Amino acid sequence: MDLLSITNRIKFALAWRRVYLRVQAELSCYTEREMKADLGLNRSDIPKIAAKAADQHTDKLVRQQVDPCWGWQDFRRLAHS
């Protein structure tokens, strides 16, 4: 059973990419000192943090689109099978 239309899947993928690139660009602007001392991060952490922010953003969007009779866990299980 397809819970989301192809159009919605494309919208979610584009939204994910937009957030990922925005967070990545923002974190990349910091100097090495700012990254390490102020944020406690390394440059190698940027992709992971950007992906997590994008995941959280698109999770909110998907939750709004999924039929309420389906539990969110049901959708996650089907999406990853």
Number of domains in the chain: 1
What digits encode the pLDDT tens for the residues 20-30?
Answer: 999 999 999 99
Question: Domain for residue 1, yes or no?
Answer: no
27 assigned to some structural domain: yes
Whether 42 is in a domain gets the answer yes
Q: Which domain holds residue 50?
A: 6-79
Tell me if 57 sits within 8 A of 19, measured CB to CB.
Answer: yes
Is the full-model pTM beyond 0.75?
no
Backbone CA torsion sign across 61, 66, 70, 75: negative
Q: What is the pLDDT of residues 40-58, one digit of tens each?
A: 999 999 999 999 999 998 8
15: exposed, middle or buried (Cβ count in 10 Å: 0-12, 13-18, 19+): middle
Amino acid at 45: D
13: closest CA among 53, 47, 55, 42?
55
